[in-house]
Amino acid sequence: MFDADEASRALGIELVEAADGRAVASMKVTETMVNGHDIAHGGYVFLLADTTFALACNTHGPVTVAAGAEISFVAAGKLGDHLVATAAERTRYGRNGIYDVTVHRETPDGPEVVAEFRGRSRVIEKTRETQ
């Protein structure tokens, strides 16, 4: 799935790992991602979290999409930050799932949380068609 995700890869998002309802992805905050307040635009932070959520919920095989999501920004991302998003499955029920994603930046004192994201997933196909 990530190989076909032009939007995420064009922004420099890198897949670190994905398996068994979990995923880790990272992204560097570049000059084009900084808003008029000189901080990372929330849309880019959301996109990193959403991409990592998608990677986690698609580890089970069936094509799965977002049914909804929300994010809480707890600290501002800054130019040059290396952001890491970690997604974890909380539950799956029927064709639905709930996943939590923490986005943090690496600092000399350890990870600092930038945002918390919760996504709701929905399976739409049993298997992914190959082309």
Provide CB contacts within 8 A for 22, sequence distance 6+: 56, 59, 86, 87, 88, 89
Q: Please tell me the predicted confidence (pLDDT) of residue 128.
A: 60
**Could you tell me the CA-to-CA distances from 26 to 23, 61, 104 in Å, in that order?**
10, 23, 9
The b-or-e profile of 69-88 (16+ CB within 10 A means b, else e) is bebebeebbeeebebbbbbe
Query: pTM score, two decimals?
Result: 0.92
Residue pLDDT tens, the chain, 131 long: 887 888 888 899 999 999 999 999 999 999 999 999 999 999 999 999 999 999 999 999 999 999 999 999 999 999 999 999 999 999 999 999 999 999 999 999 999 999 999 999 999 977 666 54
Exposed / middle / buried, residue 8 (Cβ in 10 Å: 0-12, 13-18, 19+): buried
Vertex 107 angle, CA 71 and 78, to 5°: 55
